[in-house]
Structure 1
Amino acid sequence: MMHDALHNIDLITYDLDGTLLDSAPDLALAIDDMLRAMALAPAGIDRVREWVGNGSRRLVERALVHAGARGPDSAQLDEALALFMQFYARHLVSNTRCYPGVMACLEAQRERGIAQALVTNKPSRFIAPLLEATGLEGFFSHTLGGDALAQKKPDPAPLLHIARALDIAPERAMMIGDSRSDVQAARAAGFRCLAVTYGYNHGEPIAALNPDHLLDSLEELV
């Protein structure tokens, strides 16, 4: 029996980090390598998990501030971001894995004929290698990285861009994510919102944001 969340849905847009993939271990490796290269103390995976979700530049800025670089200037932030990108390219798929139930969910929606797209704040250059390495390539008609448009989540622009590209009304679309950026973007775009209880939401329970649906596993949508 189809889950209630899928009724009258023609499009699902998915977040990537913390929703489909547990990528925090590799992000943490890259952040710690970056900090060491700048003679700063490493942060560790637990802190990095709380910083993920607003794009690479914000992740790097949070790491610098935590390490004692109060109010890092633009030049220092640019240097750190370049280092992070370099190290993350090396670690991209060292430890990153799909969450349980993800593959089954994607396959089920493909069989139902529901359009599926990926909307992430991760830089576009990393999306295809990640999808290929984790077996998720081929499920999405569109993928949109955080640097593809002038705005990124929680702005609704990326979601509306996908809806227009597929000629699907926002009220027949749903965003699936793990963080407040996903919930806020969905509401602003007129999408329904489904949140997962795992993932990275800056150390806060996602249930407090009252998404339309809340699941412990995407396998519940099979």
Structure 2
Amino acid sequence: MHPLLDGIRVVAFDLDGTLIDSVPDLAVAVDAALVDLGLAPAGEVRVRAWVGNGSLKLMERALADALGSTPTSDWLERGHQGFLGHYGRDPASRTRLYPGAREALDGLRARGLPLALVTNKPFAFIAPILEGFGLEKHFGLCLGGDSLPEKKPSPVPLLHVASHFQVVPEACLMVGDSRHDIAAGRRAGFRVLAVPYGYNHGEPVRDCGPDAVVESLAELV
């Protein structure tokens, strides 16, 4: 196992940008929501730069780009509801697991380590995506961005993970791709492992201060 796992009793994973590349499906839903409002589609390249803080923030960024100004609450509500509807009808047909993700999850599960999923994506979308990849049984706990009063970079979801598994935070590892994952892990007292290939708004994830970086999650096992 990776040396950072020494003494670790629970591993929490981020989803988008860490285990899966979901941008192709997110971009289709964002563009459909924009077109519904009479706006120009953004395209996958721009959507990729906006992912990471949950669906509401994603649509806020998309609308700000399309309108050229901060959207009103009415625009944002309509855009967000449109996005949720389009994404909910097809959340995973274009989404792919990153190389090494399945090997890591299978290997950690085989070693008996409890796994949690902590994402800012709405909770309703988690099960369809995991089921599509046959990973629904790997996680003992799944938290979405709307599962608790606060989401990453708040430490609240990770502290909930530690409490759920009755493990001290110092014996937990957070695995993610962005500064939000790293900040949440640090604030919760978790060890933090990062991957460099995800969605970190153009900032090298190594500059965000993780304990270690792996090119592939397969390096965990």
TM-score of the superposed pair, with normalisation by structure 2? 0.98
Secondary structure of 2:67 counterpart: coil
- What residue ranges of structure 1 are gaps of 5+ in the alignment? none
Moved over 3 A (4+): none
The RMSD of aligned alpha carbons is 0.9
Do structure 1's residue 206 and structure 2's residue 205 form an aligned pair?
Answer: yes
In the TM superposition, residue 99 of structure 1 has moved relative to its aligned partner by 0.7
Measure the CA separation in 2 of the matches of 1:120 and 1:154.
10
> 1:127, 1:145 within 8 Å by CA — same for their partners in 2?
yes
Matched AA of 2:174: M
What does 1:86-101 align with in structure 2 at a 5 Å threshold? 86-101=85-100
Measure the CA separation in 1 of the matches of 2:59 and 2:68.
11
* 1:134 aligned partner: 133
In the TM superposition, residue 126 of structure 1 has moved relative to its aligned partner by 0.5
Measure the CA separation in 1 of the matches of 2:73 and 2:87.
21
Measure the CA separation in 1 of the matches of 2:202 and 2:38.
27
Measure the CA separation in 1 of the matches of 2:2 and 2:182.
19
Measure the CA separation in 2 of the matches of 1:54 and 1:101.
24
> 1:31, 1:60 within 8 Å by CA — same for their partners in 2?
yes
Secondary structure of 2:161 counterpart: helix
Do structure 1's residue 175 and structure 2's residue 174 form an aligned pair?
Answer: yes
In the TM superposition, residue 189 of structure 1 has moved relative to its aligned partner by 0.2
Measure the CA separation in 2 of the matches of 1:69 and 1:162.
40
- What residue ranges of structure 2 are gaps of 5+ in the alignment? none
* 1:109 aligned partner: 108
Q: Compare 208-217 and 68-77 and name the one that shifted more.
A: 68-77
Matched AA of 1:105: A
Matched AA of 1:72: P
**What is the aligned length?**
221
TM-score of the superposed pair, with normalisation by structure 1? 0.97
In the TM superposition, residue 193 of structure 1 has moved relative to its aligned partner by 0.4
Measure the CA separation in 2 of the matches of 1:129 and 1:40.
29
> 1:26, 1:93 within 8 Å by CA — same for their partners in 2?
yes
What does 1:27-176 align with in structure 2 at a 5 Å threshold? 27-176=26-175
* 1:25 aligned partner: 24
Measure the CA separation in 1 of the matches of 2:23 and 2:128.
16
In the TM superposition, residue 87 of structure 1 has moved relative to its aligned partner by 0.8
Matched AA of 1:50: A
> 1:29, 1:91 within 8 Å by CA — same for their partners in 2?
no
